């Protein structure tokens, strides 16, 4: 990941060759993802708070558009490779991580289910077969990323603002039909594809442009977000709302990058997004069982969600650090796994 967080012009790089505000934006996006799952779990075990639910709803149009736009930016280099290198490299890595961690989550909920059957995982062995069509876990992001990479490579020759606008318009017009799809990964796949492709096509230019126009992005994004929020009952408005939310986030991130006491934790989490994304769900699920049965008092709704968020953030990083080099090789990197195989079995 370090080598990919670069742009052509050194004027926007920090002393490590990285664009600081992009790491801050990554940190912001993963915090929103973890907060979403913590708030959901807190509510499901009877310790939800309306304030957290409202904040989570407001963050929804920002959370995944930002996540996918940044992922698209980081994927730009991989898309310039040949089909063989793309499929055996980045796509193979995503397929490995998705399949491995979906099985890990399935086994966890199958044999150590702390949710008393509330999670739709581990209920059937058939899930391990149809997971390739219907992702049954929070790893749907990896599933979509593999699909998006293949799609973005296939349409690379159509790169241009007109075609990107057409993709956004097509997704907006088909959003109502997508809302009737039975599985949320399918709905999300249609909703977030323009943000990934936009990040892949124009993310590098945006990385240079955004810090110089942060105020304009914040004001314009906030105005659009406020205006479109009232129309969210119409499925097509979600694309516009997500675009406005993305503008806000891209404007805010360079400003946060200038505030040292906020920058440090956001950089810390932003440079560890994969470990957090893969492991935080297990930590939240494991903690939800004792929290659901212990007498926590009348004010538990105030601290359960922040508690779940904090412990899952650091718990996922501890998990990454404690599994050792062999575990990291297999659990967090397809390339490392492949290198550990006998040479005759390597692709």
Given pLDDT bands bounded at 50, 70 and 90, which one contains residue 326? low
Could you tell me if 176 and 235 are in contact, meaning their C-beta atoms sit under 8 angstroms apart?
yes
Q: Is the pLDDT of residue 79 over 80?
A: yes
Compute the distance between CA of residue 27 and CA of residue 21 in angstroms, rounded to an integer: 10
Distance of CA 104 to the CA centre of its chain: 19
Q: Is the pLDDT of residue 198 over 80?
A: yes
> Left, alpha or beta for 179 (phi > 0: left; psi -120 to 50: alpha)?
alpha
The two structure tokens encoding residue 299: 């004010």
292 versus 149: the higher-pLDDT residue is 149
Compute the distance between CA of residue 133 and CA of residue 186 in angstroms, rounded to an integer: 9
Share of the chain above pLDDT 90, in %: 61
Angle, alpha carbons 153-239-169 (nearest 5°):
65
Min mean pLDDT across 12-21, 172-181, 186-195, 265-274 is at 12-21
The rounded mean pLDDT for the chain is: 86
Phi, psi of 231 (to 5 degrees): -105, 10
Compute the distance between CA of residue 115 and CA of residue 131 in angstroms, rounded to an integer: 21
Which tens digits make up the pLDDT trace of 143-168? Answer: 999 999 999 999 999 999 999 999 99
Q: Is the pLDDT of residue 98 over 70?
A: yes
How much is the average pLDDT of 221-229? Answer: 91
Could you tell me if 264 and 27 are in contact, meaning their C-beta atoms sit under 8 angstroms apart?
no
Min mean pLDDT across 12-21, 42-51, 95-104 is at 12-21
Q: Is the pLDDT of residue 347 over 50?
A: no
The 3-class SS string of 78-109 reads HHCCCHHHHHHHHHHHHHHHHHHHHHHHHHHH
Share of the chain above pLDDT 70, in %: 86
181 versus 313: the higher-pLDDT residue is 313
Q: Is the pLDDT of residue 113 over 50?
A: yes
How much is the average pLDDT of 274-299? Answer: 91
Given pLDDT bands bounded at 50, 70 and 90, which one contains residue 125? confident
Compute the distance between CA of residue 332 and CA of residue 279 in angstroms, rounded to an integer: 10
Given pLDDT bands bounded at 50, 70 and 90, which one contains residue 229? confident
Q: Is the pLDDT of residue 290 over 60?
A: yes
Angle, alpha carbons 209-269-76 (nearest 5°):
45
How much is the average pLDDT of 236-246? Answer: 89
pLDDT at site 15: 41
Q: Is the pLDDT of residue 310 over 90?
A: yes
Q: Is the pLDDT of residue 258 over 90?
A: yes
Highest mean pLDDT among 11-15, 60-64, 182-186, 288-292 belongs to 60-64
């Amino acid at each position: 990941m370090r080598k990919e967080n670069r742009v052509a012009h050194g004027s926007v790089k920090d002393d490590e060759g990285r664009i600081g505000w992009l790491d801050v934006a990554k940190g912001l996006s993963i915090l929103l993802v973890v907060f979403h799952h913590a708030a959901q779990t807190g509510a499901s075990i009877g310790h939800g708070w309306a304030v957290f639910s409202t904040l989570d709803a407001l963050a929804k149009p920002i959370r995944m558009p930002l996540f996918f736009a940044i992922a698209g930016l980081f994927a730009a280099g991989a898309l310039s490779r040949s089909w063989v290198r793309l499929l055996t490299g980045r796509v193979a890595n995503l397929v490995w991580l998705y399949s491995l961690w979906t099985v890990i989550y399935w086994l966890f909920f199958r044999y150590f289910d702390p949710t008393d059957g509330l999670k739709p995982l581990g209920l059937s062995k058939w899930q391990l077969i149809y997971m390739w069509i219907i992702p049954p876990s929070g790893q749907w992001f990896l599933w979509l990323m593999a699909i998006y990479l293949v799609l973005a490579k296939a349409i690379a020759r159509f790169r241009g603002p007109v075609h990107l606008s057409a993709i956004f318009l097509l997704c907006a017009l088909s959003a109502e039909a997508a809302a009737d799809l039975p599985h949320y990964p399918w709905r999300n796949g249609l909703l977030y594809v323009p943000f990934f492709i936009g990040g892949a096509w124009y993310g590098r230019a945006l990385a240079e442009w955004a810090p110089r126009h942060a105020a304009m992005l914040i004001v314009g994004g906030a105005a659009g977000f406020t205006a479109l929020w009232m129309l969210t009952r119409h499925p097509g408005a979600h694309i516009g709302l997500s675009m406005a939310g993305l503008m806000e986030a891209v404007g805010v991130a360079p400003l946060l990058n200038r505030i040292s006491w906020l920058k440090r934790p956001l950089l810390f989490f932003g440079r560890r997004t994969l470990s957090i994304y893969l492991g935080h769900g297990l930590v939240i699920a494991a903690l939800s069982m004792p929290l659901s049965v212990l007498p926590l008092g009348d004010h538990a709704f105030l601290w359960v969600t922040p508690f779940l968020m904090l412990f899952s953030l650091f718990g996922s990083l501890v998990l990454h650090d404690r599994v050792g080099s062999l575990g990291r090789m297999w659990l967090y990197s397809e390339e490392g796994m492949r290198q550990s195989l006998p040479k005759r079995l390597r692709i």
